[in-house]
Amino acid sequence: MSISALTVMVVEDHGFQRRMALRLLAEIGIGHAEEAADGRAALQLLEAASQPPDVILVDLDLPGMDGIELICHVAKRQLARAVILFSALDPVLLSTVQTMARAYGLRVLCSLEKPLTREKLLAALAHYGDVLQVAEGVETVEISGDDIRAALAAGEITPWFQLQVELGNGKPVAVEALARWCRPDGSVVRPLHFIGLLEREGLNDALTDLMLERSCRWKRQWDSEGMRLNVSVNVSPTTLADESVADRFQRIVLAQGVDPAEVVLELTESSLMADAALGLSVLARLRLKGFGLSIDDFGTGYSSLAQLSQIPFTELKIDQGFVTGAHSDPRKRAVVEASLDLARKLNLNVVAEGVETVEDWQMLADLGCGIAQGYLTAWPAPPEELAAVLARWRRPE
């Protein structure tokens, strides 16, 4: 969608700043813009609208219903497709509100400090298409247990792959396998809509085995074509409750002609660990067989340091919530710096997730981070398109 086709609402109590925002929107080609002087007026307009606006540009410090309360209503009732925050308030508060809005499921393009400028608005709205592509690639569907079992049996659930590249030289070194349900009608359903059901149906391990087997099969083909890349596969938490899993994973990988040393198994903090003795035994045996172990979404759980001290991890993945926008957010940058320092002391490789801008790329490179993953490097793609993804990849300058 082009910027000129967007519909925008400006919610700002200061008359001059509201008029300035509307003028700037007109200058960058926005043909349809509405305005409201406070949260309640904005809510009434949104409730009466025949369809939600694409973007709400909202100040937080509003009389009556403040911007935070308005955003809660908008998110819960899906009264807009995305939001831009603009305020002169503490950047830490803006970051908190962004996190809150995303937790409610509302797309947040960015937060802008006052005063608004043409360049700031243009850059923020130009990001709309990327954010929408992430969300709208997910089709909302009603799925039953029988549906998901049939899909798994028919091979409709398959890995797509996202590139991981070295920050120092831009060299592609690995891919992460991400589950996608590719239905016969051509639509693609993302994990958000079926992973929970898979878990309830007790199909976690079946999915993990399938993803590992297919990822290794594709890796062997890529190797034969000169594209040597390691593969990362997410592991279900229930896997750690199966004492035979190390042998099973080894059989799956070797059957595809792949060395376990070229496979990284990713585990989230929250999955570690219900039965500490059994879990540590499983993970130790996986390392013994050569698999890499990655702690995924690092920093989002509550026992990170304990996990790192007990488990033979080889890699730490910094959660995208800390990485995205860290170049302009001192608190996020501090978390990234601390994570990198800890990883260096523990001799762990580091992958930064959620790298979306050249500025974040440069910040991570300056801090000595090893590997980047995110929409700046590549969008997740079907395996047969990986060669084209590699051909298009260029290191940011």
| Helix (H) or strand (E) segment spanning residue 57 | strand 55-58
CA 152 to chain centre: 24
71: nearest Cα among 28, 102, 26: 102
380: nearest Cα among 223, 215, 254, 171: 215
Residues 90, 221: Cα–Cα separation, whole Å: 52
CA distances from 192 to 4, 160, 195, 322 (A): 31, 15, 6, 21
Kindly write down the DSSP assignment for every residue of 209-240, as one continuous string. Answer: HHHHHHHHHHHHHHHHTT---EEEEE--GGGG
DSSP 87: E
- Alpha helix (H) residue ranges in the chain: 15-27, 39-48, 67-77, 91-103, 118-126, 128-136, 145-153, 195-200, 204-224, 245-255, 276-288, 304-310, 320-323, 330-345, 358-367, 386-392
Residues 299, 127: Cα–Cα separation, whole Å: 26
Residues 39, 87: Cα–Cα separation, whole Å: 14
Structure tokens at 263: 């496979």
Residues 177, 382: Cα–Cα separation, whole Å: 10
**Cβ 43 vs Cβ 19: under 8 Å:** no
**Cβ 42 vs Cβ 18: under 8 Å:** no
Which of the following is catalytic: 35, 269, 353, 356? 353
**Cβ 39 vs Cβ 134: under 8 Å:** no
353 carries an active-site annotation? yes
The residues annotated with a catalytic role in the active site are 353
